[in-house]
Amino acid sequence: MIKNFFIAACAAAAYFSSGVASAQAGDNQGQLIVRGEYLARAGDCVACHTATGGKPFAGGLAMATPIGTVYSSNITPDKTNGIGNYTEAEFDQALRHGIRKDGASLYPAMPYPSYAKVKPADVKALYAYFMNGVKAEPTSNRAVDIPWPLSMRWPLSIWRAVFAPGVAGDDVADVGSGAQIALGRYLVEGLGHCGACHTPRGVGMQEKALTDDSSQLFLSGGVVEGYLASNLRGDSKDGLGKWTEQDIVDFLKSGRNGHSAAFGGMADVVSNSTQHMTNEDLVAIAKFLKSLAPVKPGEAALVYDEKTHQALRTGTDQSNGAMTFLNNCAACHRTTGHGYDQTFPALALSPTVNAKDPASLIKIALQGAVMPGTKAAPTQFGMPGFGDRLSDGDVADVLTYIRSNWGNNAPAVTADMVAKVRKSLPKKVAEADMTAQR
Amino acid sequence: MAIKKEKVDVVMVGLGWTGSILGQELTEAGLQVLALERGAMRDTNTDTPYPKAVDELKYAVRGALFQDLSRETVTIRHGVGDTAVPYRQHGSFLLGDGVGGAGFHWNGMMYRNLPEELEMRSHHEQRYGKKFIPPDMTIQDHGVTYAELEPFYDFAEKVFGTSGKAGNIKGKIVTGGNPLEAARSNEFPLPPLTYNYGATLVEKAMRESGFNPYPTPAANASQAFTNPYGVRLGPCNYCGFCENFGCYMYSKASPQTTILPVLLKKKNFELRTHSHVIKVNLDSTGKKATGVTYIDAQGREVEQPADLVLLTAFQIHNVRLLLLSGIGKPYDPQTGEGVVGKNFAYQYNGGINVLMPKGTQFNPFVGTGAGGVGMDDLNADQFDHGPLGFIGGASIRHVRYGGRPIKQTVTVPGTPNWGTEWKAGVQDAYQRYLTIGLSGSVMAYRDAYLSLDPTYRDSTGQPLLRMTFNWHENEHKMLDYIGNRMEAVGNAMKPEKVFKAVRKAGSSYDVRPYQSTHLTGGAIMGTNPKNSVVNRYLQSWDVSNVFVYGASAFPQNMGYNPTGLVAALAYWSAKAIREQYLKNPGPLVQA
């Protein structure tokens, strides 16, 4: 019985070191493929290039753009529908320059402006992995769902010329202090393409900053699929100011830490990508993120206020916000607002709660959220959605309450804001019983 | 013509507690393990999130998480001469269903066993003489000692995130715990759940009466906790919706909250739900299992070959499967021969209901599954039975389960069941009424057994399991005695009134009121194939690549809840499979 499993393991190892390069087989090619697999994890290629329930890297995932829907392409080594006929140079053209084999420009849904920062040596490894380490799938590519004339591609080459940076060389300069921060910058700006979600975008839908420049816009927060991808700079109120490096490493490794838990698109990022990265790389990312100056440097740090807890315990706060909190939220998030470490996130002094844009909060309150299951922390604690139980007014009241108690200090949420988000959700998130509205 | 699947190393029937434990252990050993679960997938996030989980009507009254008895049930009769009829509504026992089984919605009482309880026959013969055990009382030794099981109890408690206080660590008595417990190697992984007001009163009265109260061990995590598998449980928040409900705080130990988050992700573990095993298949010699046959979700018959077959379903289903598959000789109560179905036992419960003076405020809605105060002075053979004329005792505990409106608005005896007076009775008693529960042991008897029913069949056309069972005088005497002793404890609480709720001698087993789901025996473990179905490793004496788990292995039932022992035996057996059986498949014990 155990023999069978052992034989299967040997076969898997053999598969990895065989392939096109078997003639030059030996440790080098094998190592290159392994490195390429790791880099593909860091770049999270699988997340976009795999349809829900589809074969890995075979494409087909729908992505909304301002002009219509595009579908990710098949990047398996299939020779008909995949990239099996791409040379390494053509692979690099697509990955870092945004130009397809046939010369057409890629939609910036492919974050090639970020991948431009990837070193040629790493591109080589990625190419080796995609050609030899990925199973070829014949899945055909879906055409874009964009009406003519918007479907014309030549404007993309203009976009590319205006917004895409030059590609990196192998000698990535060590600007600033320390090799670790340089490694962190390399991972965050490049394969991590964190800015694709966490940096605000301009009129041309371009990231407003691709590096930590004087604008201080890099990783200062962006809205993606209705969620606020939070500010990752040094602000203590709504950024990573209060997080230690270890907090960041824990978050990326396990999807949760003493402050918070990953939700929305970030849950997938942790699950598919960052949980697979080495501790060394995660520490480097953490060091780099902690080096980012706050957007609002003068802003005073928030201070925990015990009065809220006391008011809830004694029942002196009978407002709709307080009562809704007690009846729906307090079991897990507690009357202290502290939640439970590594289990139910804290609301008190939480950057997510204190972000000016309440998009994430409204969405989570209505439809709930589930933590990613990771190797380091397998339990997927879930928050139920309250959209079918709370009216727009109740959600607004409780979120306003949360954002103004325990020392939190963020603008109120209105029923209209909630209604807008509710409209954008899938129908199966049931409507609230409107008689509950106050 | 049956569909035939690819052979797997291990096939398990049912994915509840023992299936999850064995699945985890054997996949760690590198085996390819397949779990066939006839019910549906079930999980906290999908099935019992807050606040949907706290629906008393749906879960406690209509039993949404329980087995659908219209598809399969058991038939029950009191005596060998009677005609058994089907159990058509959930009452006395509540059968689990789906992934997690009853482990998804139990209370979480997590006991070990008292030292003498694994050697009931030899212990009683030694202490009281051979004649003390009546001839029709067929109690037996388990064939394994507490010392052998201790490390597995220890590990199981950690996996379950058990809250409690040790009373005896490596022979040293520790204040605050149970001084009568069998020696443990370690403290509990979590501190005990907090006593509520009622528990403090009961504790005081127990102590004043000369007994040794201690916090009841609970698989309801008192704090957020990461178990040895890296799986994290949330903290119990005393919501009062425990037994019958899924836990939305992730704090009640269940396969879902303790093992499945790692097990389900393994490449060498496969779960097929809606796969109803109807038979274990044997080769032509009848001594080796070749796999199982099951009905899949589409209703097709499928043959699943396997090297190792583990019966990890609930007790009655395991016994039934052995009978339907022709593994082992069925027990005949007339001749006393045969073993499969023998020594069926249950739980004999009662209570001391205490009405405290007006103005007492228990706040009964603050409830847990297993948190409270207990005592073992009148349990097992912890007291001299010589002059008393019965065997066994009771695990005594006050646990406040909740104050729910439909089934937990208890009134004092004599109150009408409806109308104005009933309402007044509820209002009067709600804040000042508590129960000291008596969970009595049930011995094994010649005439209490399981077999196949001659008339009734399930939805697949196979005979239902028939339960032949009634109370015996021994248990009446036992609980009557204990009831009297505990009435004094009730009175020591300075109540307005105490009501002793103990069955009258001679009363028959009534399937209607809820008792407990601690059905035991039928595939009992032992040292002799002539009087047991499985050996001390839970391996079938007849078919050495079949192992049978759960409380079906108990030769008789103790006062304690069974899950702790069920889990310890599962881990103990898993180790034997990993370290002995896999190296040399075959009988682990020479008969």
Please judge whether A343 and B261 are an interchain contact, meaning their C-beta atoms are less than 8 angstroms apart: no
Q: State pLDDT tens for residues B50-75.
A: 989 999 999 999 999 999 999 999 99
How far is CA B469 from its chain centroid? 18
For tokens 């930590």, name the residue. Answer: A212
Min Cα distance A143 → chain B (Å) is 34
Chain B residues with CB-CB distance to A377 below 8 A: 230, 232
Cα–Cα distance between B302 and A199 in angstroms, integer? Answer: 54
Model confidence at A12, pLDDT cuts 50, 70, 90, reads: very low
Chain A residues with CB-CB distance to B586 below 8 A: none
A182: how many CB neighbours lie within 10 A of its CB? 18
Q: State pLDDT tens for residues B186-217.
A: 999 999 999 999 999 999 999 999 999 999 99
Q: State pLDDT tens for residues B245-275.
A: 999 999 999 999 999 999 999 999 999 999 9
Chain A residues with CB-CB distance to B249 below 8 A: 331-332
Please judge whether A378 and B29 are an interchain contact, meaning their C-beta atoms are less than 8 angstroms apart: no
Model ipTM?
0.91
Chain B residues with CB-CB distance to A340 below 8 A: 224, 234-235
B63: how many CB neighbours lie within 10 A of its CB? 18
Cα–Cα distance between B14 and B97 in angstroms, integer? Answer: 9
Six-digit token string for B555 = 């030769």
Min Cα distance A331 → chain B (Å) is 7
Cβ pair A141, A74 in contact under 8 A: yes
Least confident of A14-23, A183-192, B1-10, B208-217: A14-23
How much is the pLDDT for A24? 43
How much is the pLDDT for A203? 87
Q: State pLDDT tens for residues A83-120.
A: 999 999 999 999 999 999 999 999 988 999 999 999 99
Chain A residues with CB-CB distance to B308 below 8 A: 1
Six-digit token string for A19 = 């392939």
- Per DSSP, the residues of B85-125 read EE--S--SS----STTGGGGTS--B-----GGGGBHHHHHH
Chain B residues with CB-CB distance to A331 below 8 A: 50, 237, 239, 248-249
- Nearest by CB to B45, from A1, A5, A382: name it: A382
Cis peptide before A294 (omega within 30 of 0): no
Q: What is the mean pLDDT of residues B143-158?
A: 98
Question: How would you classify residue A125: left for phi > 0, otherwise alpha for psi between -120 and 50, otherwise beta?
Answer: alpha
Q: Chain-wide mean pLDDT for chain A?
A: 89
Q: State pLDDT tens for residues B373-427.
A: 999 999 999 999 999 999 999 999 999 999 999 999 999 999 999 999 999 999 9
Annotated active-site residue B78? The verdict is: no
Please judge whether B9 and A389 are an interchain contact, meaning their C-beta atoms are less than 8 angstroms apart: no
| Amino acid letter, residue A252 | L
Burial of B213 per CB tally in 10 Å (0-12, 13-18, 19+): buried
B123: how many CB neighbours lie within 10 A of its CB? 17
* Closest chain B residue to the Cα of A384, Cα to Cα: B49
Chain B residues with CB-CB distance to A343 below 8 A: 224, 232, 234-235, 250
How much is the pLDDT for A26? 56
- Look up residue A243 and give its DSSP letter: -
Min Cα distance B558 → chain A (Å) is 34
C-alpha angle A343/B272/B110, rounded to 5°?
45
C-alpha angle A40/A45/A50, rounded to 5°?
135
Model confidence at A172, pLDDT cuts 50, 70, 90, reads: low
How much is the pLDDT for A15? 41
Model confidence at A315, pLDDT cuts 50, 70, 90, reads: very high
* Residues making up chain A, counted from first to last: 438
Min Cα distance A3 → chain B (Å) is 9
Six-digit token string for A140 = 């055909």
Q: State pLDDT tens for residues A22-62.
A: 334 457 899 999 999 999 999 999 999 999 899 999 999 99
Model confidence at A434, pLDDT cuts 50, 70, 90, reads: very low
Cα–Cα distance between B93 and B67 in angstroms, integer? Answer: 11
- Nearest by CB to B261, from A341, A344, A379: name it: A379
Cβ pair B185, B351 in contact under 8 A: no
Cβ pair B480, B394 in contact under 8 A: no
For tokens 């000291």, name the residue. Answer: B436
* Residues making up chain B, counted from first to last: 591
Q: Which residues of A touch B (CB under 8 A)?
A: 1-2, 4-6, 328, 331-332, 340-344, 368, 370, 373, 376-382, 384, 389
- Nearest by CB to B231, from A332, A379, A382: name it: A379
* Among candidate residues A240, A249, A255, A254, the one with its CA nearest the CA of residue A290: A240
Min Cα distance B369 → chain A (Å) is 17
* Closest chain A residue to the Cα of B10, Cα to Cα: A1
Q: State pLDDT tens for residues A333-363.
A: 999 999 999 999 999 999 999 999 999 999 9
* Among candidate residues B528, B513, B556, B541, the one with its CA nearest the CA of residue B89: B513
For tokens 């899950």, name the residue. Answer: B563
Helix (H, G, I), strand (E, B) or coil at A2: helix
Go through A388-405 and write b for each residue having 16 or more CB atoms within 10 A of its CB, e for each that does not. Answer: ebbbbbbbbbbbbbbbeb
* Closest chain A residue to the Cα of B232, Cα to Cα: A379
* Closest chain A residue to the Cα of B47, Cα to Cα: A384
Q: Chain-wide mean pLDDT for chain B?
A: 97
How much is the pLDDT for A2? 42
- Look up residue A59 and give its DSSP letter: B
How much is the pLDDT for A21? 31
Residue pairs between chains A and B whose CB atoms are closer than 8 Å: 72
Six-digit token string for A306 = 């015990």
